[in-house]
Amino acid sequence: MKKELLMATALVSTLGATSVAQAVTATMSGSMKIGAEFDSPESGVDTQNVIDLSNFSVSLSETTDAGTTISSSFGVIDEGASDIGDDDNSLKLTFTDGSALEILNAGNAASTSAISVPSGAGEMGVAGSTDNRTPMDLDFGAGSTALGVEWHSAADFLADGLKMSASFSTDSGAAKAATARVENSWGVGATYVTSAGDTALTVGAGFSGADVSATTTATTGGKEGFHAGVSAVTGDLTVAVGYADGNSFDARGGNNTLTNMDIEGSVLKAGISYVTGDITLAVGVTSGEGKDSDFGATTTADDSKDSMSGSVTYAVASGVSAVLGYLTEDHQNDGASATTGGSSWYVGATMSF
C-alpha cells in the first residue's frame, strides 16, 4: 500500500511539473470603477446611484514550432447585481504571415472594421421606459451566432495600409421559437491607414447580412446594413466621424406580450478627444433615426434619439484616473416629442492594471 501511495504521489508530482512547464503564456488585466451617477429624466424623479463595476480578464497564448500563435481569453465581470462570465471569446490562430483565423464565437467582420468615435467617458445613463428602439451604434446591423469563423488578412493586404476581414456563421440546428434570433450571418470589412502630413488617417467600412427566424410572421427586413467612418489623429488630437444604415430587430416572444419588432434605422456619430498632460478631454454626439414595426407589418412614423456626452479624465497616478462626465439625450417616438430623454452626471474613479 505504501508503495502504491508513493507511486501515486510521484505520478501526480510529475504530471503537475509537466503541466506547469508546458503551460500556455497567460497575461492578466482588469479594472475597478467606482463613482456616483446623477440621473435627471425629463419625466419622473431625479435619482442618485452608486456605480460599482469591476472586471478581470485573462489572455492565453502559445506559439507552435511552426510559428502559429494560438490564443483565447476569458473574463469575469462584476456589475454589482450579479457576476457574469465572459463566455463569448473565440479561439484565434495567428499565422506567420500576419493573417489570422478566429474559430467559434468569432463575431461579425463588419463590426471589426467599425471606426471608434470618441465620446464622454464615465457611466452616465438616462433611465426610463420607452418604446423608442432607435439604434445608436455603428454596427447595429451586424449579427452572428456562436458557430462562426472570421478571417483577418495581414497588414498591407493588396495595397499598403489595407487590412480586410470576412466572417460567416451558421445556426445551431435548434427549432425555431417565438422569440426571433439570428440563424445565419455573413460580414465583410476593411480598414485603410494612410497619412496626410502630420495626420494619421484611418478609414473603415463594413457590410453585413443575416437570416432572422421565428415561428411568428416572417420578418420584413431581418438584420443587415453597412457603415463607414474616418478617424484623424494629429499628435494628441483625435477627430472621428461615422455613419451607418440598415435593419435590425428587437427579439420578443414566448410569455412576453409584445411581439418581435423590425427596426429600420440610421446612425451618425462624431467625436473629438484631446490629451494635454495628465488630462484627457472628450466630446461626442450621436444622432439616430429609426422606424419599428411588428414582424410583417408596415413601419411606423419616425423615432429618433439625439445624445451629447462629454468628459474630463485626470490621470491621478499610474493606472488611476478620476472622471467627470455628462450626458444629455432628446427623444422622439412615432414622430412626436417624447419625455423619455434627460440628462446624467457621473463622477468617479477608475483603477486599472
* DSSP character string of 228-246: EEEEEEETTEEEEEEEEEE
In a domain, 1, yes or no: no
What's the pLDDT at 148? 92
Phi, psi of 106 (to 5 degrees): -75, -25
Domain assignment of residue 11, yes or no: no
Show Cβ contacts of residue 43 under 8 Å, excluding neighbours closer than 6 positions: 128, 339, 340
pLDDT, residue 42, reads 83
Decide if 4 is inside a domain.
Answer: no
Q: Is 167 helix (H, G, I), strand (E, B) or coil?
A: strand
Residue 98 lies in a domain: yes
| Alpha-carbon distances of 157 from 96, 141, 342, rounded to whole Å | 14, 26, 46
Reported as type and span, the H/E element at residue 11 is helix 2-21
- What's the CATH code of the domain at 270? 2.40.160.10
296 vs 342: CA distance, rounded Å: 33
Do the domain assignments include residue 2? no
In a structure prediction context, what are the per-residue pLDDT tens digits for the chain, which is 353 residues long? 443 333 334 333 433 444 444 688 999 999 999 999 999 888 778 889 898 888 889 999 999 999 999 999 888 876 655 555 555 688 999 999 999 999 998 999 999 999 999 999 999 888 766 677 889 999 999 999 989 999 999 999 999 999 999 999 998 888 888 888 898 999 999 999 999 889 999 999 999 999 888 886 665 567 999 999 999 999 999 999 999 999 998 887 665 667 888 889 999 999 999 999 999 999 999 999 988 888 877 777 788 899 999 999 999 999 999 999 999 998 887 766 777 788 999 999 999 99
Give the distance, in angstroms, between the CA of residue 118 and the centroid of all CA atoms in the same chain: 14
Residue 7 falls within a domain, yes or no? no
Number of domains making up the chain: 1
Separation between Cα atoms, residue 240 and residue 204, nearest integer Å: 11
Given this model, what pLDDT does residue 84 score? 59
Of 245, 247, 250, 210, the closest CA to residue 228 belongs to 245
* 304 located within any domain: yes
Q: What is the CA radius of gyration of the chain?
A: 24
Within 10 A of 330 (CB to CB), how many other CB atoms are there?
17
Grid cell, residue 277, equals 498632460
- Strands 69-78, 91-94: pairing is antiparallel
Residue 54 burial (10 A CB sphere; 0-12, 13-18, 19+) = middle
Q: Is residue 20 part of a domain?
A: no
What is the reported pLDDT for 296? Answer: 75
CB of 213 closer than 8 Å to CB of 234: no
Which residue in 317, 273, 319, 321 sits closest to 35, CA to CA?
Answer: 321
Print the domain residue range for 270. 25-352
